Amino acid sequence: MTARPTVLITGASSGIGATYADRFAHRGHNLVLVARDVARLEALAARLRNESGISVEVIQADLTLANELAVVEKRLREDSRIGILINNAGAGLFGGFVDQTTDDMDRLIALNTTAPTRLASAIAPRLVQAGAGAIVNISSVVGLAPELGVTVYGATKAFVLFLSQGLNQELAPQGVYVQAVLPAATGTEIWERGGLSENQRPPLMDVGKLVDAALVGFDQREAVTIPPLQEQSQWDAFAGARQAMLPGFASIEPAERYQQPA
């Protein structure tokens, strides 16, 4: 019987990451859990070992710090047992653009874009060489909706979606599956960390339902999984409209509406 690949999950101490850990443990996968809060990681690891009889290793790391991110990158490059990466670690940044500090934006970009890119870069060559494996990147529907008014956060999530789609185009022919998961508002600690009271929060999807839906998409090998979207035809129409524009991008003449009158 072929051994199940080990799963490395970032942001695993709570919320979506911890729920992914629970679900993969119950599927019989060994785990490597990454987060800053080592006490919560150890508690989760102990519970999952006891319940599922699997191996769980904990790595304490702040992925906004280059030296700590490098530890996780090294593990992904060198540990051939790890065949699935769940790029879940992320943070929110609420409030208007002019009210946010540049340093806060910088930390958000480091965690939400630089870290998942570097971690994917660390594992992808090895997965390609093996001809198997998966990278799951947690994006957000906010990356499709500038109207929601969380500009920098939304931009980071749009980046994650594009990164995932581009990687899937490149890596799928070589046996590596890449999935983007786009949650909407979900019941995690991001709201408390962002300083939003309960009456300031939108209706929230249960985190267990979110991850279970994402895993249905994972098992079906969807490139983009949007658990709250009820009509798949809407995403198909969106993707189709984008693809319909591609031939026009090859034109060497500006569109007529941009040409100066004679």
The residues annotated as belonging to the active site are 153
* Spatial contact of 238 and 226, defined as CB atoms under 8 Å apart: no
The alpha helices in the chain, defined as continuous H runs, are 15-26, 38-52, 66-78, 102-109, 115-130, 151-171, 190-193, 207-219, 232-245
**How far apart are the C-alpha atoms of 29 and 18, rounded to whole Å?**
14
- The size of the chain, in residues, is 262
Instruction: Answer yes or no: are the C-beta atoms of 160 and 143 closer than 8 Å.
Output: yes
Measured distance CA(42)–CA(33) in Å, rounded: 9
Q: Please give the Cα distance from 201 to 38 (Å, whole number).
A: 28
- Tokens, residue 217: 């998409």
